[in-house]
Each structure stands twice: as structure tokens, then as C-alpha cells.
Structure 1
Amino acid sequence: MPVFITDKHLKAEASTKTYSDGGPKGQKGFVLRATPKGAFTFYYQYLNKKTGKRDWEKIGDNLEWSTARARAEAGRLAGLVSLDKDIREVRAQQCTEQRAMGTSFRRVHDDYIAYCSELVDRKWGRVPRKETWANIQSALKRPLEWWGDKVVSEITPMDVKKLYDSVVAEGYPAQANNMRGQIGTLFNWAMHEERQYVAKNPVVKQLEDDKVLEKADIEDGRVMDIEELRRFWFGLDDPDCPGSRLSKLALKLSLVTLLRTGECVKIERELVGPSHVTIPLKHVKSRKAKKARPVVQPLNSLARDILGEVFSIGKADRDYAFPGARTRRAKPMSQQSLGQLMSRTTEHANGYMGICEYLCLEDVTPHDLRRTGATILSELGYTDAEIGRVMTHKTADDDAAPVTRERYIVSKRVLTMKPVIDRRVDMLNHLDMVLREELGLPVAQALAVPLKRLAA
């Protein structure tokens, strides 16, 4: 029995069902077919006068056609039939014309990369609109290879899924998820009213069963225990350990300062002081916050020792503490190179051994050094807010955001014995120092050992 087809009919059925459009507002010949797997396809059914048989012309599926738009298309096809037109020939001709006039994915890709890399004025300088545009371009490399000359409006959710599955099948779920997200962002940009390359984004929300779990989804963070920490620290001093001495010192510096490795490698020589180091706003992760400012990080004795060795290697008057290699010497070392140095194995294509493989450490990343340091501070009794301040977690309104415990504080003991910390000792020592300095009192002397009482 004919029914007026609406979106409520777009639901999975126990068996394949076919709905014919009816009612006062219905379109004769407009048909919806629903399958148990949740596929919904619109058709136009008509009498072919040449063959005398009933033919089915596929309009499209619900991912590309709304119910109202599909009904309107069925009405247009009915008009062609009334004029004795061959609707299949007409539609094929229209498709050819649209393809000839359509914009290719390559054109949209090139325009998008040009938009991302265009220099704009920010409060930290004149920089590309998206400073990671080179990473975006790299993530879109395979889509460009697959769809370069394809009309961008013809790319479907199934095309995206096939591409996504091909990267997952190679064992790279993280790259697949990143690529999928970048494709979605590109299509959102292309849909903007100023461009209107496409009318719909083919990157749809994934079903839970289709999602690929990454290690990050299973394990919240890696923290080294004290034995692993010793192996890491002294292993980096081994001359046979992979990597340059500067690269290994950059990893050590991240551990003792809790700075991100991306901040460590961009330390400028002129901004290193005797007791602190300044990271310019252009290198700070939170620089887009309203009250963002350069990071001024205190240097403990280990950090001072490390930086002292750093500037004893190579040219002491260089711009960056950790210059890039070969043709990048005028630029800082790349953060990605440190991650690759730790994770690569002899099983990879290049066959080079990495630090983790050499030191027999399982899956330690540069960012895990921050997690290890944060966990140690937590064991020492410091609050999440204090740890967040040291880790330079900035917010728009506050001086620092509390550390995200689920991400950084891992429930794993690092220290073999938990020290007893009394915050009052630090506070009173600080008060003592200030009073002596302001009042001109002599430096504190060690307390004399009291004499034992003589026996009566």
C-alpha cells in the first residue's frame, strides 16, 4: 500500500522493504528500498514505452540525497518520461557535462593548502594561517593520490571508508584517523559559503564497530619506574646509544624541566639565563589563549649542567641550543626527529635502531618523560595545581591550569621510597631568607648540637 515517504521510514527493517510514495503530496513512481543492514536507496519506477516493461532508475542513497530532494528528482524524471525522453540517456549526458565542469579534488586540495600556508599576522609574528600546514599536506598525500582527478562532489562516504581501511590494513590506525579528520576539515572548508565547492561532507560519523582502537585509547600513558629511569638516563651517556649527543641531551632536558620536547629544541641561546630559560610566545603551545605569554621556566642544577654541556658542543654562538642537522642548522632541531629516534627499530624500512630498542625499553615516547616527571612530583606530595604550573598548562583566565590527572598522573610507583614533605618547612625557609635579606641579618648558621646533660 502506498505511503507518503518521510525520514521516519529510514530505519533498519528485519527484511528488505519497498515503500511506494503516495498521498496527496506524494510523487507517483517514487520508491524507497530499505534493507536489514540499514541501506536506504531512492528509485524512480516507470513504464518504459520502448520495451513495454517497468524499469527502475536509481536516484541515489540517503547519504547523498535527502527524502525531499529525491522526491523532487523523481518528479523531474516523471516529466522527462511524459515527453518520451530516455531518462537514462538524459541523466548520463548531464553527468558528463557536470564532470566536465566539475572541480577536481586536486584543485580543492591545492586551494586549501594555499589557504593554510598563507602568511597572516598573529600577536607572536607573521606566520602561516595554519602553522602545521606541512603536516596537513602530508596527511592528505594519499587522498590526493587516490582522488586527484576525481570530481570532488562525487566523492562518497564509501570512498572515504575504503581509503581509511587501506591505511588501517597497513597497520597505521593513528595515521588513518588523522587522515580522516583532515579530509573532514578540508570538506568543511570547501563547503563554506565563500567557496561552495561542495554541498555535503562525505566524512560522516563512524559507527562504534568501525572505529579502530589506538594504543592511546587503551593505555592512558607510559611512566618509567626507577629502574627504567636509571637505564634511560645512563644509557643515553653510552656512546653506542643511537642518536647525536645533542638529541639525547634534549630528551634529558625535557625530563628535568618538564618542558615539552617541542619547546626544548626551540630554546634560543640569548634567552638562556643563569637560573631560568624563556620560551618565546611563538613557540608556546597555548599562544592562542587570550592571556598567553612567553614561558619562563626555572632551571634546576641538572638542567644547568645539561645546558652547559649543550653549549660546549658545536658553535657556542649559534642561535638555537639544539640546531637542526645538515641543511637545517639555521633552524632548530625538529620535535618529530626525537620521537622517531626513540621509536624506530631495525625492523623498520630504514633498518636503523632506536633508543628504546637499544636500551630494551618498551614504547617510551618523548612525552612520557613529562608523565614520569609529573608522577614523581605527585609522589612528592605536590598538588595538581602546582604540577600544572610547572608543566606550563595555561588557560585564558588563570595563571595555570591544574594538571590533567587522567593524562599525566599515572597510577604507577616511580620512587622506591616516598619522601615525607612538609610544605611548612619550605614556606618558613622562604620567610627566613626574605627577612634576612630585607633586614640585613647575617646568613643563617647551622644549629649547634646541644651538650648532653651531665649525670647528677
Structure 2
Amino acid sequence: MSGQTITKSLVDSLEKQPAEYTVWDAKLPGFGVRVRPTGAKSFIIVYRAGTGRTAPVRRLTLAAVGKIAPEAARTQAKILLGTVANGADPAAEKRANRPKRDRLTFEELAQLYLDQYAKVRKSSWKNDEGYLKKPRAKWNRRIAAEITDDDVAELLEDIGATAPVGANRTQSILHTLFSWAKEPGRKHIPTNPVADMRRRYQETPRERVLTDEEIRALWWGLDDADLPASRPVALALKFILATMVRPGQSAGLLVPELVGFTGEDPQYHIPKNRVKKRREVIVPLNALAVASVREAIVREDRGAVFSSWSFRSDSDDVERGDESPSDRSPRQLAPLTRDALSAALNGRPAKGKRSVRKGIREHLGMAHFTPHDLRRTAATIARRGGAKREDVKALLDHLEGDVTATYDKYDMLAEKRLVATILEAELRKIIGVKPNFCRPEIVFDRDNVVPIEEQKIAVAS
């Protein structure tokens, strides 16, 4: 595609297609925007390295869209294309400046992968970063090209001893990392040591759905003054159950993402960076969801709806979901994380000088469940209440994945709003009226102290 001036509005309007395509700038030949099938966009230049028709054609990526403005990208492209006219080859120079394979450590390779691939293409890049912590700690200064399949197998066996699912996820991330690292034009490593490795641990599909009794106990238990978690954490968990959003989308909710919040049609506009396949999703909010958000916002005027205190410890930065203790200095208020919600449910064992912290489940006497199980529970409740399967699927933001879905952009907002209403009605039936946990009132009759319940029995007799 050509003949258009590359501006911010043009770049924002470009939609992903089944095949990669490039839009070329009308003002600066060789400068364009490449759009991949995943939806990732980047500014590029194309030029001939040399003179004549036989000179090789080079393509150089300037930066991902979002990291640099179109005008700044055009300026950079103009400078580079100017050097090409004087005989330079920017693409070759970039390759020459890459770390040498024989000295590139795994730590350096992992950071390159996160910066150049995961953060650019994946809304869930934080997951990749988390699962790479143990490989980076174990292989740190090892030369990346020298890591073998036996090294990977040993690492996965160590992880799988206590976290078999974590071992599988780590294996998947390592496979993607090494595949990316050996691609032509990059070739940081000669082979992918995970290429022929089968998944080591069998996983049981998650099917946990909370019962009505558990839902009621959790909903009102989250209001317990002695709950071993902060109020923002409790409200964020309620928000998942009332909306079906993913835990990370609940934890990361920002005030500017609430559209029409004080009107009759409140909505949560989830930004592309927190949605699979990088596209904006609109979630209608029912009254229960609005109540959780309103309480969280009233607590303090801030950008994050459900916030946590972030601290600096002696050894590391620790993000927590509980309130600020007096013996530590908070660095800043920040949105909760998905891990903070899980940690609040799980609690933590004593370790070193760190004391044991009871989890929400243990405090409420409930069987194991995860924040994501609340999403599955909400979907089940809505279906039980009469919501159509395809409408629930839309609110869950489950993609079809076929060619038609690529072109069908109908947002199903009306259908999703109906599901949210049904979900609220069903939840209200389940949770009922808030239990009265107060002790029987004591009345004084001269010198005798008589509970009201006993008075009622006496009157009745």
C-alpha cells in the first residue's frame, strides 16, 4: 500500500490482516509502517545497499509504534536514508553491533527477548518475564549458545518438583525465546535446545466453580474487618466475580478507563496492552461492579482504582497488596497486580525473619480456588440464569480465531450488557442480605442482665 502520508491517525486506523502488509509514506520514499498478522506495528525503512539493480535490498526496523511518534520516526528515517545515499548500510551496521554469539550470555539474551519480542508483541509479556526468573538465575552468565537440552531438562525437573504447571509454562517460554533467538537475521544461537522436547508434566484442566454457599461466604467474608488482606484486594476480587474480567484486568483498572461511570451505561474500556490479541475491549458494568469501583475510588483520589503500596526492601523491590506497615516506607501507590490477588488468597509461610501471613481462603475456611476460578464461576452463574452461551463467550472475550472473526468487528455490547444484568441478578439471589454478625443485644433489668433472645422465650411462654 502506498500514496498516503503516515500520521498518527493513519497509524491508529491500520487493522491487522491475515497476511503482513506495509503502508508506505507518500512524502518519504522507503519509509513505511509494517503491520503484522498479530496486530503489532513498527516503522521501517527499505533501501538498496549500494548502487545499481544488483545491489541488495535491505529492510531496517526503526521502532515499534507507540515507542516513537510518526514524525520522529520520519525524521529518523530521513537521516538514515541520507546516510544510505552517501554509501552507508544501516542494517549491516546494526548487525555488526549486535552481541557476538560466542559471548552473549543467557541473561543478555533473555533481556533482548523481552525488549525486542515479548514487550512488542505480547500483552502478557509480564508472564514471560516471571517464568524466565528461574532460568536467568540458574544460567545467568552462561553463554546462551552453549545451553543444551540436558541443561533445560535439569532446570525443568527442579521446577517441576514443586510446581509442575510452572515447569510446563517455563518450557513454553524457553521454546519461544530460543526459536526467536535462532531466526535468520538474528541467529544469536545455532540451535533451539527445547525444539524436540515433549511437555514433561500432565496438567489437569481447571474446572473449579464455587458453590452458592462458597460464593455467599466469600462475598460477605471479603467485608470482614479482620480479613488478612487490604480493602482494594477484596474489592478487586469482588469485581472479577461481578464482571468476568481476567484477574490482571481487574487488578490493573485505572480511573480513566471507566467510561460513563456516573451515567446509566457505565463501562470499563480495557486498553489493548491488557487484552489478548492487542485490541480494545468494552465491558459493561452492573450495579455490583459499580459499587466495588465506587468504594475503591472514594478511598483515595488516584489513577489506579484498586491500588497497592510499593516498597523498597533491603534486597529487592516488593509489590504488595496489603496496607502500608509502619516499619516500612512506601515508595508509591500503584495498581494491584494479578500476583497480588493470588498471594492474598494463598497467604504465605514463615521464612527467615518474615512472619507467617494467613490467606483469605484459610481465614474464611474455604477450599482452594484461584482468582481465575471466580471468572469461571461468574460465567457459570450467568449461563444458569439464562444467558446465551455465545453472549457469555463475548463477555469473557473468548476469540473465535477463524478468518471470519478477523473481519467481523461487531462488539456485541448490547448482548454483553444483558449478560452483566443477568449475572448481577443471579449473584444477588445467591448472596442475599448481608449477615448480621453482631452479638445479641444486652438489656438491663435492675441487677439482672438478660439477653433479648431469652426475653422473647419468656414472653412467648
- Given the two structures, how large is their TM-score scaled by the length of structure 2? 0.55
Aligned to 2:44: none
Aligned to 1:154: 146
Give the 3 Å change call, closer, same or farther, for CA 184–391 of structure 1 in structure 2: closer
Aligned to 2:201: 212
Greater RCO, 1 or 2 (C-alpha within 8 Å, sep 6+): 2
Deviation at 1:337, TM superposition (A): 0.5
Aligned to 1:303: 289
RMSD: 3.3
Aligned to 1:249: 235
Aligned to 2:339: 336
Question: One-letter code of the match for 2:364?
Answer: L
Deviation at 1:119, TM superposition (A): 9.9
Deviation at 1:185, TM superposition (A): 1.9
**Alignment partners' CA distance in 2, 1:207 and 1:281:** 35
Unaligned runs of 5+ in 1: 1-100, 121-126, 404-413, 419-456
Question: One-letter code of the match for 2:150?
Answer: M
**Alignment partners' CA distance in 2, 1:102 and 1:269:** 46
- Correspondence for 1:374 among 372, 379, 386: 379
Aligned to 1:323: 307
- Correspondence for 2:406 among 396, 399, 402: 396
**Alignment partners' CA distance in 2, 1:185 and 1:261:** 24
Give the 3 Å change call, closer, same or farther, for CA 271–386 of structure 1 in structure 2: same
Give the 3 Å change call, closer, same or farther, for CA 180–320 of structure 1 in structure 2: same
Is the Cα contact below 8 Å between 2:269 and 2:280 reproduced in 1? Answer: no
**Alignment partners' CA distance in 2, 1:114 and 1:268:** 29
Is 1:387 matched up with 2:392?
yes
Aligned to 1:200: 191
Percent identity over the alignment is: 28
Question: One-letter code of the match for 1:188?
Answer: S
Is the Cα contact below 8 Å between 1:117 and 1:129 reproduced in 2? Answer: no
Cα deviation, 1:293-328, whole Å, max 9, x if unaligned, reads 341x22222222222222221x23x11211231457
**Alignment partners' CA distance in 1, 2:379 and 2:225:** 29
* 1:124-135 mapped onto 2 (5 Å cutoff): 128=120, 130=122, 132-135=124-127
**Alignment partners' CA distance in 1, 2:185 and 2:223:** 56
Is 1:178 matched up with 2:169?
yes
Question: One-letter code of the match for 1:277?
Answer: Q
Deviation at 1:184, TM superposition (A): 1.8
- Correspondence for 1:117 among 107, 115, 118: 115
Is the Cα contact below 8 Å between 1:260 and 1:370 reproduced in 2? Answer: yes
Aligned to 1:163: 155
- Given the two structures, how large is their TM-score scaled by the length of structure 1? 0.56
**Alignment partners' CA distance in 1, 2:215 and 2:190:** 54
Question: One-letter code of the match for 2:305?
Answer: A
Deviation at 1:388, TM superposition (A): 1.3
Deviation at 1:263, TM superposition (A): 1.8
Is the Cα contact below 8 Å between 1:261 and 1:366 reproduced in 2? Answer: yes
**Alignment partners' CA distance in 2, 1:228 and 1:392:** 26
Is the Cα contact below 8 Å between 2:345 and 2:370 reproduced in 1? Answer: yes
Question: One-letter code of the match for 1:376?
Answer: I
**Alignment partners' CA distance in 2, 1:118 and 1:111:** 10
**Alignment partners' CA distance in 1, 2:129 and 2:273:** 21
Is 1:227 matched up with 2:213?
yes
Aligned length in residues? 288
Question: One-letter code of the match for 1:319?
Answer: G
Question: One-letter code of the match for 2:102?
Answer: T
**Alignment partners' CA distance in 2, 1:158 and 1:230:** 49
Residue aligned with 1:227, SS:
helix
Residue aligned with 1:372, SS:
helix
Cα deviation, 1:371-416, whole Å, max 9, x if unaligned, reads 1111111112222111112223355344469x9xxxxxxxxxx99x
Larger Rg: 1
Residue aligned with 2:267, SS:
strand
Is the Cα contact below 8 Å between 2:241 and 2:374 reproduced in 1? Answer: yes
Aligned to 2:66: none
Structure 1 consecutive aligned stretches of length 4 or more whose deviation exceeds 6 Å: none
Is 1:358 matched up with 2:363?
yes
Give the 3 Å change call, closer, same or farther, for CA 331–283 of structure 1 in structure 2: farther
Deviation at 1:367, TM superposition (A): 1.0
Give the 3 Å change call, closer, same or farther, for CA 334–195 of structure 1 in structure 2: same
Is the Cα contact below 8 Å between 1:104 and 1:148 reproduced in 2? Answer: no
- Correspondence for 2:280 among 293, 301, 308: 293
Aligned to 1:439: none
